[in-house]
Structure 1
Amino acid sequence: MTKRVAIVTGANKGIGYAVVQALCKQFDGDVLLTGRSEERCKAAVAELQKQGMSPKYHQLDIDDQASINKLRDFVKEQYGGIDVLVNNAGIAFKQSATESFGEQARVSCGTNFTGTLNVCNTLFPLLRPHARVSNVSSFVSQMTISKCSKEIQEKFKNPSITMDQLKGLMQQFIDAAQTGSHQKQGFADWSYGMSKVGVTVMSFIQQRELNSDPREDIVVNACDPGYVDTDMTSHKGTKTVEQGADTPVYVAMLPPGTTSPKGDFVSDRTIKKWG
């Protein structure tokens, strides 16, 4: 019987590390800890091994298509398919960042939205029936969409929006940010928030597309880990990393035949109205 595998991106620290830790206890198969830094990832694996767990490691830079392809080829050869995918990798600029807003928009959306989408496009063909995908978004996607113009909100919230249309909207924001005209065009003045709007809407579209896929019972959800005490929040978050990992792990471990949550935005294990 083919061995099951769960893949977690951006997993050498913070929420991703806690997701791997929880999956090692709950998932009946190998858990693959991935990240850009081989040194940090191997240190994370060693720490988990001290706790009696046995995660595997593979390098993954979601900004590098060749790196994504290497992971795909490894998983295809070693496992033949994927059972759980937790897209956790992401970045956020600090308030003290000196980069221009245009640069922050380009990099934030390039990693958090485009990088995540590239991982999905490359790995989704390997999803097995009953696979679960957890796209780690944020409550700030809700806050950010509310700050967009009504016209832009309607485009993002259109129930029949296509992936190409979403990519076009995200590129429109990035382009507008380069000239400082993003607010005039109806977008929010928040590069990280806009990147997570992309992740949330991407998840809705992916589920809609997978509903007609011949592989049965594949479930995708966007999830909000909450305000978590990590490097990304400068350790101002009120949740522990274990608490932040709870919802991503919950949607990753949904039982076979799950009809809800499915293609939803989930926070604290609860479906939240988005937008």
Structure 2
Amino acid sequence: MTTYGYWICNLQFDGDVYLTARDRMRGENAIKELEAEGLTPKFHLLEITDRDSVLEIKQFLMKTYGGVDAFVHNTAIAYKKSAYGMSKLGVIAFTRILSKKTKELDQVDVLTNCCSPGYVSTDMSSHKNPLTLDEGAITPTFLVKFPPNSDAPNGEFLYLKEVMKWY
């Protein structure tokens, strides 16, 4: 399987990594494939358009871990002149709003950023894009490894570890 969400589970962290999917069978199959490669991700069902599903994983993570250290939502920016592209611009704007709100709440240990992995060769792109999965993982890996209370980007959109001005 060569989807970006699958590959992002290859990122090396101290702690647990969860792969989520809205389809239980596909998620569990991805976990089996990752385990066969020697990785140990965990699975949780999540349909982000279903409020109950979102609340369920939130409650699970709060009860099990007391919160989340890093969260990678697998979306990419492309097709600038389409509804898809506009929805991704909405994600960037929402990121800035979340960052501002966490600062207002004095949540100095929370960083909220979004990034593009670039044009990664995946099943979704019929393997026609130029970047490898390793290259696509560069920026998410960079973002989730900042220590608490660091002077890291916050409320930004990044590509290849660089802040991109989109406004």
Q: With the length of structure 1 as denominator, give the TM-score of the two structures.
A: 0.57
In structure 1, the partner of 2:98 is: 206
Question: What SS does structure 2 have at the residue aligned with 1:73?
Answer: helix
Using the alignment, how far apart are the partners of 2:151 and 2:124 within structure 1?
Answer: 33
* Residue 194 of structure 1 pairs with residue 91 of structure 2: no
Structure 1: tracts of 5 or more residues without a match = 1-11, 89-135, 145-188
1:255 positional shift: 2.3
The one-character-per-residue Cα deviations of 1:163-198 (angstroms, maximum 9, x if unpaired) are xxxxxxxxxxxxxxxxxxxxxxxxxx5111011010
Aligned-residue identity in percent:
37
Question: Which structure 2 residues correspond to residues 94-243 of structure 1 after superposition, within 5 A?
Answer: 136-138=75-77, 140=78, 144=80, 189-243=81-135
- Tell me the secondary structure at the aligned position of residue 9 of structure 2: helix
Q: Which residue of 2 aligns with 1:21?
A: 10
Indicate which of 46, 56, 61 corresponds to 2:47.
Answer: 61
Q: Any gaps of 5 or more consecutive residues in structure 2?
A: none
Other-structure match for 2:150: 258
Deviation digits for residues 46-101 of structure 1 (CA, Å, limit 9, x no counterpart)? 1111222211111111121121122112112211211111111xxxxxxxxxxxxx
1:7-30, CA deviations, whole angstroms, 9 ceiling, x for partnerless residues? xxxxx85111111111xx2x1111
**Which contiguous aligned blocks of 4+ residues in structure 1 show a shift greater than 6 angstroms?**
none
Equivalent pairs counted in the alignment come to: 167
- Tell me the distance in 1 between the aligned counterparts of 2:49 and 2:2: 18
Q: What is the root-mean-square deviation in Å for CA atoms of aligned residues?
A: 1.8
| Cα separation, 2, equivalents of 1:232 and 1:202 | 25
- For residues 135-182 of structure 1, what are the alpha-carbon distances to aligned partners after superposition, in whole Å with 9 as ceiling and x for unaligned? x442x3xx73xxxxxxxxxxxxxxxxxxxxxxxxxxxxxxxxxxxxxx
CA apart distance, 1:231: 2.9
1:87 is aligned to 2:73: yes
Flag the structure with higher helix content: 1
Q: Select the structure that is richer in strand.
A: 1
Q: Secondary structure at the match of 1:84?
A: coil
How far apart are the structure 1 equivalents of 2:73 and 2:31? Answer: 18
- Work out whether residues 137 and 199 of structure 1, in 8 Å CA contact, stay in contact via their aligned partners in 2: no
Matched, 1:272 2:164: yes
1:202–1:261 distance in 2 versus 1, CA, 3 Å = same
Partner of 2:33: 47
SS at match of 1:228: coil
